[in-house]
């Protein structure tokens, strides 16, 4: 099973380009010309995100710039450098947390909050469903 955070963008093509510059891979983009209805971007270390153009009239709508996402990476310093070079607003340069993760935080051009770090979560307790 996978979980894909989903969000909308005022300029989804620019958002795709930004996220690819940070390190995501463009897996699928659907729409006509520059109009992006749906896109899937995968993170090379696992998981990914989905996004599309802002559709305030749609049944599933999210205001651009209101998403927050944590992404696990073995290279937060590299993500930091790529995000900075891509024009991200850096809110937290790489730092070690009190729980042993190295994390970086920034906002993308639409204002969404991104956090990348080495903390991969705790192991599941036995007996829980997957």
For residue 74, being part of any structural domain is answered with: yes
Longest dimension (CA), the chain: 49
Query: Tens digit of pLDDT for each residue in 48-65?
Result: 999 999 999 988 898 999
Return the number of other C-beta atoms located less than 10 Å from residue 17's C-beta.
14
Q: Does any domain span residue 20?
A: yes
Sign of CA dihedral 97, 101, 104, 107: negative
27 part of a folded domain: yes
Please indicate, yes or no, if residue 124 is contained in any of the structural domains.
no
Q: What is the mean pLDDT of residues 88-113?
A: 97
**CATH classification at residue 77:** 3.10.180.10
Q: What angle do CA 119, 127, 49 make, to 5 degrees?
A: 40
pLDDT over 90 percentage in the chain: 85
Structure tokens at 6: 């989903």
Coil, helix or strand for 66?
A: coil
Q: pTM of the entire structure?
A: 0.91
Render pLDDT for 75-94 as a digit per residue (tens, 0 to 9): 999 999 999 999 999 999 99
Assess if residue 122 is contained within a domain.
Answer: no
* Tokens describing residue 96: 């070690």
- When divided into structural domains, the chain yields a total of 1
Residue 129 belongs to some domain of the structure:
no
Domain that holds residue 101: 6-56+63-117
Domain membership of residue 90 (yes or no) is yes
Residue 51 resides in a domain: yes
């Amino acid at each position: 099973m996978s979980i894909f955070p989903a969000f909308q963008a005022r300029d989804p093509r620019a958002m795709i380009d930004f996220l690819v510059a940070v390190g995501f891979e463009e897996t699928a983009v659907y729409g006509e010309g520059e109009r992006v209805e749906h896109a899937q971007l995968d993170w090379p270390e696992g998981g990914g995100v989905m996004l599309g153009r802002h559709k305030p009239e749609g049944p599933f709508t999210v205001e651009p710039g209101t998403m927050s996402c944590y992404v696990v990476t073995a290279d937060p310093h590299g993500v930091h450098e790529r995000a900075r070079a891509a024009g991200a607003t850096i809110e937290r340069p790489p730092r070690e947390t009190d729980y042993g993760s190295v994390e970086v935080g920034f906002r993308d051009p639409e204002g969404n909050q991104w956090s990348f770090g080495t903390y991969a979560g705790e192991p599941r307790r036995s007996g829980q469903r997957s």
